[in-house]
Amino acid sequence: MRGSSLNYDSPLALKALLEKRGLGMRKRLGQNFLIKGDIRKKLADALELKPGDGVWEIGPGLGAMTAELLEQGARVSVFEIDPGFVEFLREEFGDHAGFSLVPGDALKTWKGEAEVPFLLGNLPYNIAGALLGDFVEGNRFFRRMVVTVQKELGRRLTARPGQADYSSFTVLIAGLYQVKTLVSMGASCFYPPPRVDSVGLRLNLRDECISPPGGEIARPFPPLMYPMVRRLFSSRRKTVKNSLRAFVSSRSGMEQGAGDLTMTALECCGIRPDERPENLDIPQFRELALRLQCLGVGE
């Protein structure tokens, strides 16, 4: 496998290759190479792969992580938007039986690809949140994901109720995955160095999302929960009662009676009407959505 001959830890070697092939690093695509071999191995090992496991890799760049995954015997599908990198990856790994390449914008191409249980990605800063949310909204779940993201997004993914970074996006992802920080990475871990710090995260699918005996994956909460949570967090200054009443009214198509439905649901869930949405935990959101569904509030 020729890709492993490149010194992925050397900015000089990477720069020389880029210049030789006439490739440039485009900031709008969030292109930064992770140049710490020990961190790359730690991230790859965190997937806990077995030979033959299928992995999606988002943003492979010049293939540093790709080489690591193929060495572990994985079947790797890489998603790369840059035509120059696509050509390089095809030349370096195209003859490997476990390698396949999906050119183009991952936000647009992933829906047409077969499901796999694992995902690895040095996610471009400009699409990381959108891509993770897109997977969930599109019912594409992974048993385990290991991703590198901007530190700010990492705080949102690991936030707890009552914290400033706790948001609807937190609930969207953490309702399905247990999120753990693996490693923090400063700008010097990348070439070229970005202006932000990054974190490596592992997201394990929650046990309640996997239904025995066949192991099918399913949401552990009703579809009503997502739009409800987004509506509640859109007005963080409002109480749960006021935001939920507006949501119930819009979903049920009635102005009168929405207040009574709202109060009934809150009382059944043991939630104070004057509570703020950012202080509710995921089980409370789930129970509230289920209660509203039982009361006839539609999706």
Q: What's the structural domain count of the chain?
A: 2
Q: Report if residue 116 sits inside a domain.
A: yes
The reply to whether 101 and 194 lie within a common domain is yes
CATH number at residue 95: 3.40.50.150
Q: Report if residue 204 sits inside a domain.
A: yes
Per-residue pLDDT of the chain (299 residues; tens, 9 = 90+): 444 579 999 999 999 999 999 887 665 555 789 999 999 999 999 999 999 999 999 999 999 999 999 999 999 999 999 999 999 999 999 999 999 999 999 999 999 999 999 999 999 888 899 999 999 988 899 999 999 999 999 999 999 999 999 999 999 999 999 999 999 999 999 999 988 999 999 999 998 888 766 677 777 788 899 999 999 999 888 999 999 999 999 887 767 789 999 999 999 999 999 999 999 999 999 999 999 999 888 76
- Which structural domain, as residue segments, surrounds residue 117? 2-217
d(CA 221, CA 239) in angstroms, rounded, equals 23
DSSP of 164-206: TT--HHHHHHHTTEEEEEEEEE-GGGEESPPSS-EEEEEEEEP
The reply to whether 256 and 289 lie within a common domain is yes
The reply to whether 170 and 276 lie within a common domain is no
Give the per-residue pLDDT at 299: 60
Last residue of a domain, one of 217, 234, 263: 217
The first and second tokens of residue 47, run together, are: 């997937």
The reply to whether 201 and 244 lie within a common domain is no
Pairing verdict, β 198-205 and 144-150: antiparallel
Give the per-residue pLDDT at 2: 43
79 sits in which H/E element = strand 75-80
CATH number at residue 271: 1.10.8.100
Q: Is the pTM of this model over 0.85?
A: yes
